[in-house]
Amino acid sequence: MMLADDRENIERLDAYLDALATNQSDPPSIDPVWVDVDEKLKALDRISRPQRPFAARLLEELMSTQSFQARRPSFSQANNGRVHAKSFVELPDRPAAGRRWTLEQLGTAAVIVLTVVASVLAIGPGRISQDKEIRASLPAVNASPTTQATIVSDTLLDATTERLPAGHQIIALERITLQSGSPEMIISPMDGLVILAAEAGDLVATKEGTETPLHHAEPLIIAHQEVALRVIGPDEGIVAAVYVISAFVDASGFDSDPLVHRVDRLIETSANDLPGGSARITVERLTLPPGASLPSHEGQPWTWAEVEEGELGLTLEGDRLPFRWKSGTERTFRLGQYLPPVQEGTQMTIRNAGESPLILNRLTILPQEEAGFPIGTPTA
C-alpha cells in the first residue's frame, strides 16, 4: 500500500522523467539514488544489443538451467488463520542443458537483472502490500454501468456510520466463509472500524456477551471490540467484512480453524486524509459479460475495486498518467497483476476484455457533506 512519503517520491520521480522526456535543461531534483540509477540505465542504452541467435540461446539456458525450479502456490492457512497463497510446492527440476555460462552470457544476464531492479525502484516500495500479496487493484471506479441489462450489480454491504476514522487508514474488504456446524470465528479488537454484513446463510455475531443475528440489510458496525461469528443454519455462512483501521492485529489476534473457516482478501489498500465523522460505506459486486463496459468516468478518491475473475481492459486519458502510459491507450489486467494508481481527474474507461465474465468488487466511502462529498445513494 502507498504511504504519503512514497506518493510524494513517486510524483517527484514522474516530474523528473517528464522533464527528461521533454529535454528540459533544469529537471527537478530527486533522490540521488534514482539519479544514479538513471545514469546507469543511460549507459546501458549505449551498449550494443546482443545478436538474435545469442539472445535465443541465452533464453533457452535461463529456462533450462539446473538451478531453476517451477513453483506453484499452495493455499494454506497462516498463523492467524487467514488463507493466503504464500506457501509453494516445488515441482521436479527440468533437465539441465549441459552447457557452461560464458563471460559474455553472464554480462548480458547482469544487464537484465539491473534493468529489473531499476524498474522496481521506479515503481516504489509502497506498491507492496502489508502481507506481500499481489492483487490487481483499481483505485478509482466510480460510475454507473451502461444500460445493458446483462450487467449485474449486487450490493453486498451498505452502512452509515458517525465514527469514520480520520487521517491515514488501511482499507480492506474480506469475504469470510464459515462451514455449517463449525466453531465460532473470533475477530480481535481493531484500532478503527469493522463493518460486517451477511452475504449468505444464517449467522450470528456475539460482542460483549450479546448475540445478534447478522443480516444483509442491517450491517453490524464494530469499533475497538472483539466479535465472534457463528453459523446457525444448515448451509455455509458468508460474511462481507470491511476494515477502516490503522493496522491489522498480530497473527495471534484471530481465532479460526482453517479446515472450516476461509478468509479471502478481496481489496487491500490505504487512504490518506480521510475526513472522519459521518460517512456511508458500500460494497458492490459488478459482473460484466464479455464485450460489456462501464462508461467513461473521472477518477475519484476513496473508491477502490479489484478484479476477482476475468480480464479487465483499462483506458486512461489525461495529463497525469502512470509512467509510460499514453493517453487514450488500453492495457489489460487479470487477477494477480498491479493496476497503477490513478490521479484524480483522469478519465477512465473499463471493459471486459476477455471471453469469460469479468467480476469486480467495489468499495466506496462517501464522507460527510462538510468534506465536499455529500452522503447519497452510490452509483450502481
Per-residue pLDDT tens over the stretch 369-378: 544 444 444 4
Q: At what angle do helices 32-45 and 103-123 cross, to 10 degrees?
A: 140
DSSP state of 131: T
The helix or strand, by DSSP H or E, that contains position 19, with its residue range, turns out to be: helix 4-21
How sure is the predictor about 356, in pLDDT bands with cuts at 50, 70 and 90?
very high
Residue 62's SS3 state is helix
Count of all residues that appear for the chain in the document? 380
Beta-carbon contacts of 377 under 8 Å, excluding residues fewer than 6 positions away, are none
Residues 315/328, Cβ–Cβ less than 8 Å? yes
Retrieve residue 23's grid coordinates: 529535454
Q: Return the SS3 of 141.
A: coil
Q: How far apart are CA 377 and CA 95, in angstroms?
A: 60
CA 63 to the chain's CA centroid: 30
Looking at residue 238, what is its pLDDT? 96
CB atoms within 10 A of CB 309: 13
Ramachandran region of residue 167, left (φ > 0), alpha (ψ -120 to 50) or beta?
A: left
Give the angle 135-136-141 at the CA atoms, nearest 5°: 125
pLDDT at 97: 40
Q: Which of 74-83, 126-135, 283-292 is the most confident on average?
A: 283-292
Residue 118, C-alpha cell as written in the block: 531499476
Expressed in angstroms, the distance from the first to the final Cα of the chain is: 26
Distance CA 281, CA 197 (A): 12
Q: Which helix (H) or strand (E) holds 116?
A: helix 103-123
**What pTM does this model have?**
0.59
The domains of the chain, with CATH numbers, are 4-127 (no CATH), 130-161+276-380 (2.60.120.10), 167-274 (2.60.120.10)
CA 186 to chain centre: 25
- Quick one: which of 48, 66, 159 has its CA closest to 108? 48
Is 50 exceeded by the pLDDT of residue 92? no
Q: Over the stretch 271-317, which tens digit does the pLDDT of each residue have?
A: 888 999 999 999 999 999 999 999 888 888 888 888 999 999 999 99
Q: Assess contact for 171 and 363: CB atoms under 8 A.
A: yes
Least confident of 113-122, 148-157, 230-239: 113-122
| SS3 state at 83 | strand
Give yes or no for residue 270 having a pLDDT over 80. Answer: yes
Write down the pLDDT at residue 199: 94
Return the pLDDT at 273: 87
Other C-beta atoms lying within 10 Å of the C-beta of residue 55 = 12
Bridge partners for 73 per DSSP: 88
